[in-house]
Amino acid sequence: ADDFEDVAAEKRAAEFIAGQSLQTRIDLALYVGPMRRVLVLRLLQQLSRVYATVRLSKLYELTERLGLTELDVEDIILKAVSNKHIRAFIDHRAQCLRFPSAGDMATIGETAASKATRDEAMRGQLTALASSLRTLTTRLQPETKPQLFDADARRAFMDRVRANLAAEHQEILGRKAIIEARKEKLEREEQERREAEAAERR
């Protein structure tokens, strides 16, 4: 039952990530990349439980809705293997992704402790994904506020704007009066200077 629930959750998450409202909002864009990687990791983990090999074309088809290119998917696989999140390797000649069997893993040297560590890391990734989804859902679909509160908030905001505008207007008038006074003083001084020069020439 858990596997079916996981698949359904991942499908909803993929649709959520692919949504235009998420893709076009700059403040949410930073969540998209990490969520895509976690979803692909989870998909790979599920495939490894059931299949020994998966055609690359099928894998690209499964991840297409996330908006990932083939190179993106392969890069995620390589990093997942490097970080020991999964056991897999890409067979480009056969155009498939191969998952070592349990026996192969024992031969490679994976112990029960290392497997537990890998599973724990995956659970941590999924927990982070769930947290991100909750945050995104809250931000995209905020709790509805009473209309009265919205109206009061808007009214208070406009009152503050008007008060600030009035204060700024008074400040501008004050600066203008100072500039006019300085201009008049300079004009008087210039007039007095000319009159003094004219008097000396007489």
3-state secondary structure labels for all residues of 127-168:
HHHHHHHHHHHHHHCCCCCCHHHHHHHHHHHHHHHHHHHHHH
* Residue 18's pLDDT band (cuts 50, 70, 90): low
Q: What percent of the chain has pLDDT over 90?
A: 9
Question: pLDDT tens-digit profile of 87-125?
Answer: 899 999 999 999 886 444 443 444 555 555 555 555 555
The 10 Å CB-count burial string (b at 16+, else e) for 155-180 is eeeeeeeeeeeeeeeeeeeeeeeeee
CA distance 21 to 136: 11
**Do 44 and 117 fall into the same domain?**
yes
**Do 107 and 33 fall into the same domain?**
yes
Identify the residue with better confidence: 92 or 7. Answer: 92
Q: Give the pLDDT confidence score for residue 149 in this predicted structure.
A: 47
**Do 124 and 103 fall into the same domain?**
yes
**Do 49 and 59 fall into the same domain?**
yes
CA distance 133 to 11: 13
Identify the CA nearest to 13 among candidates 72, 51, 80, 65: 65
**Do 50 and 136 fall into the same domain?**
yes
**Do 15 and 112 fall into the same domain?**
yes
Provide the 8-state DSSP code for 26. Answer: G
C-alpha angle with apex 138: 132 to 141, nearest 5 degrees?
A: 130
Return the bridge partners of 96, or none: 55, 91
Q: Give the pLDDT confidence score for residue 3 in this predicted structure.
A: 42
34: domain range?
2-143
* Residue 49's pLDDT band (cuts 50, 70, 90): confident
Q: Which of 94, 114, 143 is the endpoint of a domain?
A: 143
pLDDT average, residue stretch 159-184: 76
**Do 139 and 158 fall into the same domain?**
no
Structure token digits, residue 24 = 């076009």
Question: pLDDT tens-digit profile of 125-139?
Answer: 556 555 655 555 555
Q: Which of 112, 143, 174 is the endpoint of a domain?
A: 143
- Determine which of 28-32, 46-50, 85-89 has the lowest per-residue pLDDT on average: 28-32
Q: Give the pLDDT confidence score for residue 159 in this predicted structure.
A: 72
Q: Give the pLDDT confidence score for residue 96 in this predicted structure.
A: 93
Return the bridge partners of 53, or none: 98
CA distance 5 to 148: 41
Q: State the pairing for strand pair 53-55/96-98.
A: antiparallel
